């Protein structure tokens, strides 16, 4: 057990960037000093001569909150006397959501209620724990500014607190994490820069956004962490920044054009990957009802005069196949950037199949970010529509948000009706490669798996069905109301699993497990 833990750490650390290691050590050694200085180092905010404007209406968040009752991640809590901003009975992500203040920007949120909640927070700010971390600070800054702009509020107490929170953020940029966390820091600092007309905030925001958008938005428009949910969130932020810049004349430089270019590409990728019923594939860390959906993002982009770029799916490693009756989203790429695989799953060659615009074979989703057995299971190979060899994961997911050894695509060939790929996730452990071939026809899909080795290995392929899809076993095939699946060269059994389309939501559904040795063919007839 100790050797395995050491192995995991070593094979995780070796992929980190030097800047991540440096800032992890820097922030660890100085964390207490910086936290203690925050509330005692008060700066008065500069006078704000002109309220920030969002002439194009911003999107409102789909979150439920009353003055004393909050629902996040499908979990509700009512505070009896005062709000405990450190409330952690539902886990850290729920606490984070409480401190994001996204509830301020719901249509039913009144000016007086919102102001009361903000002042309550300011009163308790010296007691904060998770809420002072840079990630919730970043989101809170954006949401406060949106709310203040909506009601044209100029409150010096709020301005002073917000100004100091931005200085605190400036000294705690998440260079140790990078990825979407660093982008959120940059988006928020841009809001702070415009709100306070602060050159220091702007210089840092522009530096982060120019570098990170070029790094994190791939050639085909995908966000490089390869979670469709986070892609939606990052696109939402980019659109908000365009809204901010276009409607406030403080700065006019190349940043606005860069944001528009990236938004167009990101929208193009998202439209390509979204199923006809509006769902995104639940690849990697993705769940429904967390980010604005694709339809809303298109509507927002249109109001900002952003048009989706016509893109071809390429370096994201995701592919989308569409025929008259079915759509299939496929993962034939690497798990994501080596230095930040926190939202990655062990799911190479995973896929989702929609038939007649309804989910049929699905990714199992995620229900939690808590570091526990459920989180580990949802990231593991066993929870995806791919092949597990000798009961091991393709990529060694561990610790909630970490990956040690990981699978890489070593071969990819594709044309209009076939995708053929090989990954090496099992090469170090067993000396084998896994090859999967998808062949597509109008009413037929053939999935061929080959374990490339001179030895015989025990493998299991899995097909996870949506809870609304009822299946039956008839001889060597599976029957449902809209398709028939033939299993060649192997027997199979039908088991149950827990489908997690949203956080803290688990629904019993069926999974077909197909044990085989080195070669398998699965034929889907529609």
| Domain containing residue 184: CATH number | 1.50.10.100
- Within a domain: residue 286? yes
Running along the chain, 526 residues long, what does each successive block of 10 average in pLDDT?
A: 67 78 76 54 74 81 79 95 95 97 92 96 94 97 96 94 96 92 98 96 98 98 98 98 95 94 98 98 97 97 97 97 97 94 96 98 98 97 98 94 95 96 96 98 98 95 98 93 92 97 98 96 97
331 with 294, same domain: the answer is: no
- List the one residue out of 145, 157, 314, 159 whose CA is nearest residue 237: 145
270 with 402, same domain: the answer is: no
Residue 517's domain comprises 318-525
| Domain containing residue 415: CATH number | 2.70.98.70
User: CA 276, CA 280: separation in Å to the nearest integer?
Assistant: 9
- Within a domain: residue 88? yes
Task: Provide the domain count of the chain.
Answer: 2
- Within a domain: residue 227? yes
- Cβ proximity of 334 and 317 under 8 Å: yes
Is this prediction's pTM over 0.85? yes
296 with 346, same domain: the answer is: no
Three-state DSSP class for 302? helix
Q: What is the pLDDT of residue 66?
A: 77
119 with 246, same domain: the answer is: yes
Q: What is the pLDDT of residue 35?
A: 53
Residue 445 CA to chain centroid, in angstroms?
A: 29
257 with 332, same domain: the answer is: no
236 with 380, same domain: the answer is: no
- Within a domain: residue 388? yes
Dihedral, CA of residue 266, residue 267, residue 270 and residue 275, to nearest 10: -170
Q: What is the pLDDT of residue 41?
A: 63
Q: What is the pLDDT of residue 56?
A: 79
Q: What is the pLDDT of residue 13?
A: 80
Q: What is the pLDDT of residue 384?
A: 98
- List the one residue out of 214, 170, 216 whose CA is nearest residue 189: 170
347 with 452, same domain: the answer is: yes
Q: What is the pLDDT of residue 38?
A: 60
- Within a domain: residue 308? no
180 with 297, same domain: the answer is: yes
Q: What is the pLDDT of residue 275?
A: 98
165 with 258, same domain: the answer is: yes
- Cβ proximity of 504 and 368 under 8 Å: yes
90 with 129, same domain: the answer is: yes
274 with 336, same domain: the answer is: no
454 with 509, same domain: the answer is: yes
- Within a domain: residue 292? yes
- Within a domain: residue 289? yes
- Within a domain: residue 9? no
- Cβ proximity of 22 and 16 under 8 Å: no
What are the phi and psi torsion angles at 193 (to 5°)? -65, -45
């Amino acid at each position: 057990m100790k050797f395995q833990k050491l192995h995991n750490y070593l094979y995780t650390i070796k992929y980190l960037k030097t800047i991540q290691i440096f800032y992890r050590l820097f922030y660890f050694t100085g964390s207490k000093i910086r936290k203690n200085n925050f509330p005692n180092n008060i700066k008065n905010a500069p006078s704000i001569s002109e309220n920030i404007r969002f002439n194009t209406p911003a999107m409102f968040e789909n979150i439920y909150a009353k003055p004393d009752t909050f629902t996040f991640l499908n979990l509700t809590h009512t505070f009896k006397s005062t709000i405990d901003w450190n409330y952690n009975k539902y886990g850290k992500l729920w606490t984070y959501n409480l401190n994001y203040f996204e509830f301020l920007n719901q249509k039913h949120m009144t000016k007086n209620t919102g102001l009361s909640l903000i002042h309550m927070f300011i009163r308790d700010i010296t007691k904060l724990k998770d809420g002072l971390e840079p990630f919730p600070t970043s989101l809170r800054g954006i949401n406060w500014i949106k709310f203040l702009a909506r009601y044209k509020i100029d409150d010096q107490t709020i301005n002073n607190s917000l100004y100091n929170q931005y200085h605190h953020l400036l000294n705690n940029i998440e260079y140790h994490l990078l990825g979407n966390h660093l982008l959120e820091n940059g988006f928020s600092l841009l809001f702070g820069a415009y709100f306070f007309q602060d050159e220091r905030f702007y210089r840092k925001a522009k530096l982060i956004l120019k570098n990170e958008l070029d790094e994190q938005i791939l050639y085909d428009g995908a966000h490089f962490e390869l979670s469709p949910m986070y892609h939606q969130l990052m696109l939402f932020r980019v659109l908000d920044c365009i809204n901010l810049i276009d409607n406030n004349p403080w700065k006019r430089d190349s940043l606005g054009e860069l944001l528009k270019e990236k938004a167009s590409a990101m929208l193009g990728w998202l439209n390509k990957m979204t199923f006809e019923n509006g769902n995104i594939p639940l690849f990697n860390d993705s769940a429904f009802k967390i980010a604005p959906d694709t339809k809303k993002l298109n509507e927002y982009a249109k109001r900002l005069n952003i048009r989706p770029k016509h893109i071809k799916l390429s370096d994201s490693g995701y592919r989308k196949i569409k025929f008259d009756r079915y759509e299939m989203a496929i993962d034939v790429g690497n798990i994501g950037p080596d230095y930040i695989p926190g939202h990655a799953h062990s799911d190479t060659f995973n896929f989702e199949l929609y038939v007649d615009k309804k989910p049929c074979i699905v990714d199992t989703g995620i229900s939690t970010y808590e570091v526990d057995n459920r989180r580990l299971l949802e990231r593991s190979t066993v929870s995806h529509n791919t092949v597990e060899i000798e009961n091991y994961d393709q990529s060694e997911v561990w610790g909630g948000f970490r990956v040690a050894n990981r699978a890489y695509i070593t071969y990819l060939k594709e044309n209009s009706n076939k995708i053929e790929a090989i990954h090496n996730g099992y090469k170090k452990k067993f000396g084998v490669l896994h090859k999967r071939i998808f062949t597509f026809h109008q009413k037929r899909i053939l999935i061929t798996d080959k374990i490339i080795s001179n030895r015989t290995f025990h493998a299991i392929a899995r097909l996870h069905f949506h809870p609304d899809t009822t299946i039956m076993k008839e001889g060597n095939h599976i029957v449902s109301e809209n398709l028939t699946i033939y299993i060649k060269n192997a027997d199979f059994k039908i088991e149950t699993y827990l489908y997690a389309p949203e956080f803290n939501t688990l629904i019993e559904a069926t999974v077909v497990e197909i044990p085989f040795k080195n070669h398998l063919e699965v034929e889907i007839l529609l």
